[in-house]
Structure 1
Amino acid sequence: MSPSNPSATAPASPQSPTPNALSLERQICYAMHTTVRAFDAVYRDLLSEHALSYPQYIALMTVGEHGPLTVGQLGELMHLDSGTLSPLLKRMESAGLVGRTRDPEDERRVQVSLTGVGRERLDGLGDVPKRIAERSGLSREAMLDLHRTLREITDNLGALA
């Protein structure tokens, strides 16, 4: 060990790890994970004011945007399987937010549509994206850039799966 640089040959202590390729803080997956958890907490806080969970919020927006959808179409748009989606829709139907009916064209399919209560609830959520953006601390331009980057990553990673 050199007196001018005491750490030159000393092993790294647990208190001062040397960054390497497997350092947790250098992992993009970990940065994404912690960011998603932070977003989840903010959404949970904001959506609790509307008695909604995040998956219910996404389902409400999707059905509101695309009109009546089959459960399969909704699952594709939300990237959820029917095992996850069915209980979610059941809770939303019990809350009066959506209605489920058999497709008159094909009775094997179930269509999901917003109820009047669901439309009112969705209309009351208009400030959520703005509040999320404000809490993120990012400018509108930075938020749009991040959105584009995340969509590109998702598309690229999805193409490999």
Structure 2
Amino acid sequence: MARTVDGLDALKALAGTDLGSSSWLDVTQRRIDTFADATDDHQWIHTDPERAAAGPFGAPVAHGHLTLSLFIPLFTELLEVEGVTTKVNYGLNKVRFPAPVRAGSRVRLTARLAAVEDVPGGVQVTVDGTVEIEGAAKPAAVLQSVSRFYA
């Protein structure tokens, strides 16, 4: 269940806080295929289960950017900010994909609210996040996300 804060001051008070882990999310072949359709990236390692089974990962794998895009729904399970007018994805400071997410795997986000800094009209929030793969030694993604919240 998401931790809920009301307003920018309450958000600032959480700087440096570990937010815990989201629930597990299934990364199905259907999700991968839908992402491939949306992005016109139909590379066989993603969308051809038979060929991918004989490929370098032993199964179809999610696009790295699909894994990255799951940050937002997983993050909203960890923190809900009320009392603001606008929430904007401002960018990423760094992203790495240490391990592939095979079709049929489950992932979750573990996050820490690294920084909350004033910007005109609001705050800029930096989150250190790790997208974990259930049962895997290495994470699917390690990232630093930057968002802005405006009053």
Q: What range is the shorter-chain TM-score in?
A: under 0.3
- Looking at secondary structure, tell me which structure has more helix per residue: 1
Q: Greater RCO between the two (CA within 8 Å, min separation 6)?
A: 2
- Looking at secondary structure, tell me which structure has more strand per residue: 2
Larger Rg: 1
TM-score (norm 1): 0.23
